[in-house]
Amino acid sequence: MRIPYTGPLPPPIIVPRNANTPTGAISALTNFLSAPRSSLLPPLPNTDDRTVLLTGAGISVASGLADYRGTAGTYTLNKTYRPIYYNEFISNHEARKRYWARSFLGWTNLHKAKPNDAHWAVRDLGNRGFISKVITQNVDSFHPTAHPDLSTLELHGYLRSLVCIHCGTHLPRKDFQQSLSTLNPEWAAFLAEMLQTGALDSEHPDERREKGLKSNPDGDVDVPNAPYTTFRYPACPTCLANPPTLTNGTRSIVETDSDGAWSSSSTAGVLKPAVVMFGESIAASVKAAAEEAIDTASRVLVIGSSLATYSAWRLVKRAKDRNMPIGILNLGGVRGEEGFIAGLKADNDGSLGVRCSESADKILPAVFKNLEPTAFAEHNEEILSTQSSYT
């Protein structure tokens, strides 16, 4: 994944004009999702008249999680924030100690957080046949939890599992948390104290800062001047039992201390979160699946994303190049939004494209209520009519 765009984002360009209020935004999004397939799209047999969603951290803010570029986002309030990079993680034992210590402190709140009304509205819209697929940049697993029957492509992976960078073994993150607690009793006691005093109850950076903490997205809690170098983490159990062969043809070494913590003398057995870190490549199969999701839909709706990461921005650019109608529901600016909504007619009611700056958890449930069963039936008739023309 490329380093995210960090330049200033433009203010939202609201389209249509009446989408500058919650009521107007709801109306415009209702029209957008229920509009017939654009005549500008090529008549391909494997496409349908549904919308593909592209979601970002903003959709999970109502679940109590921090975001990146919102009014209380990490990049907004903490200009010096720097996420860990893939090469740094895989090559630096001390960097991994720091990463896992901060993840250990932040996991409890992330693990107990639940999908919010926006995720449930996505489920309902999917059940009604208006959404073909969800592509999410988020690693919180809220989408597959809220709507397991509506396909979700997790573009940047997920935090619910770990993967060994040497043998590919996957392990549940909740089990790993217990291993970290066992290996680090003093840290576990510190975490218990923070939970008891409510120090981790809020994800708001200002409130955390008052308590001597810095919170970042994806379950990362930084304690300034903490002794991160004392933190220990376990080795991959598969590599420990059967050390793999390295790329140079030699057999790896996987060793632990007397408590089972990974030893710096090891040349394998390193576990990482099953997410795509900055500087790490997204799997070719995931890229292809994301492109297919765009190509087989009739429109794309961006929710809670500033499109600052290239992996997300390029998908909307792909949709624009295909003349797909584009909708954006995001608080604050979006990278390149002026190009995505360019050319919309003055009398557009949202059917041809929409841009609104509202909270998804407040807007999407109302959009779902607007789409009555009669509209749903008409929508399905349009899909069937379009599909029958290819047979």
284-323 pLDDT, tens digit per residue, is 999 999 999 999 999 999 999 999 999 999 999 999 999 9
Tell me whether residue 156 is one of the annotated catalytic residues. Answer: yes
Q: Has residue 199 got a pLDDT over 80?
A: no
pLDDT recorded at residue 6: 59
Residues 6+ apart with CB under 8 A from 110: 65, 140, 159, 218, 219
Residue 182: is it exposed, middle or buried by C-beta count within 10 angstroms (0-12/13-18/19+)? middle
- Of 119, 143, 147, 156, the active-site residue reads 156
Residue 359 has pLDDT above 80, yes or no: yes
pLDDT for the residue numbered 217: 60
Render pLDDT for 104-131 as a digit per residue (tens, 0 to 9).
Answer: 998 988 888 999 999 999 999 999 999 9
Average pLDDT over residues 100-107: 93
Nearest-5° Cα angle at 83, 82 to 87: 115
Tens of pLDDT, residues 212-253: 566 666 667 778 888 999 999 999 999 999 999 999 999 999
Write the pLDDT tens digit of every residue in 54-89. 999 999 999 988 765 555 555 545 556 678 899 999
